[in-house]
Structure 1
């Protein structure tokens, strides 16, 4: 998309093309494309007057909504580097991420869901957060007067931004370990999102509901930037609840629901007489009528990571895969090179063999905070993802879990992702989380499972029909839902704490 290589070019182009069309809607506010361009420009002028310029690192901590989008657009269109921060962060975690990303200017709500974020930061000790110069509440930002001087230089400042300039630092982590600050440029982020729009089934006629937090790549890339690039309408809310979400889906005539499968299933149970007839294939299928649903395994799950700025592999979400590729993640998107290598030697494996996935191309990360290029990429420019996968002869990618999660049982390799996939194929299972449970010198397969009216005996029996004997979990824990699973600040499962939960269950079974 030649008109969308920087955020400023994108928002100007979409305002010219779509004008009064709603760009973002939340339960209390809606903003058109023209108003988003104008109001983000006014906000950018306030930021420039306050000392924000090209390259300034600006942290943003607030819940989903129109204001989040307007602020993010204002920051990035003038070349400042956006640092989205999780509303789930504790004070120590927040300070750690501010330090890693060298945030200079912080904008945030003072409180959300009982968490106070800005307390103690207005006078942050210089040795603790040496880069932090300004802390503004969203109330202060909303009431700040714009000066004429900064407004006059705004166009020149925005025009100086190039696709190769840094656009944002987004935090991610593996299943354990401290979060990483992943740096993307305007070109890499916008290019990555544009390459996956067709697979996401997002176009200018789409009315997209997305509950994922905008501080994660699934929310910012899959929601905000996807809608802006396509000229679609994005509908979101601060705190998704069945009653409010269903109301939005009906009143806003949402055509595409992207989110978490367990959320869709919960909504389906509460939907009652809600009119969801506007939803189209490509949405999560629990909310679609049976005639519009695909067979299990027929549709690809878009696959990616923060380092690739979301999915780098997929297939049209409303279209069945070729039968031979059922269960795959689809094919790599244009502009992305994928190779599979041996874990020990990093030499490419034969087609069809499982190994570690490496990525190269214009849409991958530009770097990681505090890490050298040599420590981030291979000598020939590939990024080692840590994910396990295989490519078949037709180029379809199959995911087999994380290389740091795989473990041995009686000398045989177990991939937790493979076991989780099998468990999710059992009728009634809505979520499954698998890891190893130490048992003396050995390891056992442990699974925490959420589902409807299932017993451990039933789960074990059905798993035996789907998995080799050594892969069948021998430590089971029934949980109420995904919220019962411990997670880190970036939302990923905390494997160490999950192992502790399963180990406690193992001890209870032996008492």
Structure 2
């Protein structure tokens, strides 16, 4: 049996392949036949380049249906897909290309000059753009060159443990690491989520996430492809545009920021969401206020889940059953998740510890970093996620923070999430971030950065006084700063490393 992920998708394409697979905001329509034929043309092009069997194809392009088709073509042809954040600049791209040594690099037309220079210098043999094939322009357009190839292709046979993709971690501390994901990692997780989230025959996915990340590529896109479901494929999230498409869709996946912005739309109510079946949130913590207000306004309870580059999805609130705000839910079927103390002993309910995970979804290791890989796995095969959390008495997992964000002040451990939850409940607070900064006496000083609602005024002394009445003194911030917004990466995660630099 062919374990190639594309073969799994193709086996679930609808019988009527003339039906719509992707529809864009500007009225373009891509049938399942279009996807199959276009991916075949691109796969034939790649196969004709004489690449090594495990060749990496690095891609930094704007989101488009053609970008998704290129991903499908790459895995269909048996190569390894390497998506790169569109925000990366020269020094970052240089590192990834030198580290991964891709044989093919595909970039946006406006970046071709500097990307090609970096790629050729690093030994890359083929550099293309992914722009539309305009008449007379054939220099570097992958689409233009692919037009000449046959529109049928026999999907390359792959074993379950063969590599399908490399995802580089965000690299907020130390060098960015390439997580190697296999065909089985991705297919097993897609199949589990299909059942867990009750994908249905007539589902339509409203796709607004980027394609260089687990959430947009391996959760949203895979879900629709595996279910043979149409995607309304938007280039980016725009709240007003999402509101226009909600009546035509049944499934929406977003980061917490998306939901905050949707709540600012006056038209968001039960009528606007009448045809919706499922709202999913992930990639960053969802504030309890956002969770509750969304339910009140729409009648829908957001399903929050938990995953990462190295594991794809591992925990999810249930589709049927209680979805608990402030938690990421229960371990997915076939995935073992545990919370342990420093000595690896299991934590009791509500006791904070390190989150570890084991299952078919867990990656095969870090690219060319065997020592780091060995370091991140326990003797009994669990991956150390680097996240800190706790199970409640019902078995629901809550994420407290990253272990690297743990603050040790005067010998006491302080988990930022706990203090943030207290601050976020204060009237007039939009959100907060708690960090540790160097302190001569305590080692680290607990420091809070707060974003206030427009027109609201709070004082540093007032916030500290309120916290002193509710939590242990060693947890109370030594300093409180107010900011207009918190720095975030493209997936909505607060960049605490940036805050630590700003306020150290």
Deviations 1:245-298 (A, max 9, x none): 333435xx122332122322223323448944433453565566636155xxxx
SS in 2 for 1:162: coil
- In the alignment, which residue of structure 1 is the partner of 2:30? 31
- In the alignment, which residue of structure 2 is the partner of 1:333? 332
Choose from 10, 18, 21 the match for 1:20.
18
Q: Give 1:193 shift.
A: 2.9
CA contact (8 A) 1:54 1:79 kept: yes
Check 1:374–1:273 CA distance in 2 against 1; reply closer, same or farther (3 A cut): closer
Deviations 1:158-212 (A, max 9, x none): 2422222110001113643332111101110121233234554543333222432
Q: Give 1:9 shift.
A: 1.3
Q: Give 1:96 shift.
A: 0.5
Alignment pair present for 1:398 and 2:390: no
Alignment pair present for 1:129 and 2:128: no
SS in 1 for 2:360: coil
Unaligned runs of 5+ in 2: 132-140, 282-290
Q: Give 1:302 shift.
A: 0.7
- Using structure 2 for the length normalisation, give the TM-score: 0.84
CA contact (8 A) 1:386 1:402 kept: yes
Q: Give 1:466 shift.
A: 5.8
Written as runs of structure 1 = structure 2, the 5 A alignment for 1:466-481 is 467-481=471-485
Check 1:469–1:102 CA distance in 2 against 1; reply closer, same or farther (3 A cut): same
- In the alignment, which residue of structure 2 is the partner of 1:499? 500
Unaligned runs of 5+ in 1: 504-511
Choose from 226, 240, 245 the match for 1:243.
240
Please give the alpha-carbon distance, in whole angstroms, between the structure 1 residues aligned to 2:146 and 2:5. Answer: 24
Check 1:445–1:233 CA distance in 2 against 1; reply closer, same or farther (3 A cut): farther
* Mean Cα deviation higher: 451-460 or 394-403: 451-460
Q: Give 1:74 shift.
A: 0.7
Written as runs of structure 1 = structure 2, the 5 A alignment for 1:142-157 is 142-145=143-146, 154-155=153-154
- In the alignment, which residue of structure 2 is the partner of 1:507? none
CA contact (8 A) 1:281 1:288 kept: no
- In the alignment, which residue of structure 2 is the partner of 1:290? 297
SS in 1 for 2:86: coil
SS in 1 for 2:116: coil
Q: Give 1:493 shift.
A: 4.0
Written as runs of structure 1 = structure 2, the 5 A alignment for 1:437-452 is 437-442=437-442, 443-452=444-453
Alignment pair present for 1:173 and 2:170: yes
Check 1:437–1:69 CA distance in 2 against 1; reply closer, same or farther (3 A cut): same
Alignment pair present for 1:316 and 2:318: yes
Alignment pair present for 1:270 and 2:265: yes
Q: Give 1:44 shift.
A: 1.1
- In the alignment, which residue of structure 2 is the partner of 1:355? 353
Q: Give 1:336 shift.
A: 1.3
Deviations 1:41-62 (A, max 9, x none): 1221122223346422101111
- Using structure 1 for the length normalisation, give the TM-score: 0.83
Please give the alpha-carbon distance, in whole angstroms, between the structure 2 residues aligned to 1:353 and 1:192. Answer: 28
Please give the alpha-carbon distance, in whole angstroms, between the structure 2 residues aligned to 1:66 and 1:88. Answer: 19
Please give the alpha-carbon distance, in whole angstroms, between the structure 2 residues aligned to 1:205 and 1:181. Answer: 36
- In the alignment, which residue of structure 2 is the partner of 1:204? 201
CA contact (8 A) 1:406 1:413 kept: yes
Check 1:282–1:199 CA distance in 2 against 1; reply closer, same or farther (3 A cut): farther
Check 1:106–1:440 CA distance in 2 against 1; reply closer, same or farther (3 A cut): same
Q: Give 1:227 shift.
A: 1.4
- In the alignment, which residue of structure 2 is the partner of 1:224? 221
Q: Give 1:448 shift.
A: 2.4
- In the alignment, which residue of structure 1 is the partner of 2:255? 260
- In the alignment, which residue of structure 2 is the partner of 1:40? 39
SS in 2 for 1:119: helix
Q: Give 1:24 shift.
A: 2.5
CA contact (8 A) 1:23 1:233 kept: yes
Check 1:42–1:212 CA distance in 2 against 1; reply closer, same or farther (3 A cut): same
SS in 2 for 1:184: strand
CA contact (8 A) 1:20 1:33 kept: yes
Please give the alpha-carbon distance, in whole angstroms, between the structure 1 residues aligned to 2:148 and 2:383. Answer: 44
CA contact (8 A) 1:401 1:418 kept: no
- In the alignment, which residue of structure 1 is the partner of 2:432? 432
When the two chains are superposed, the root-mean-square deviation of aligned CA atoms in Å is 3.1
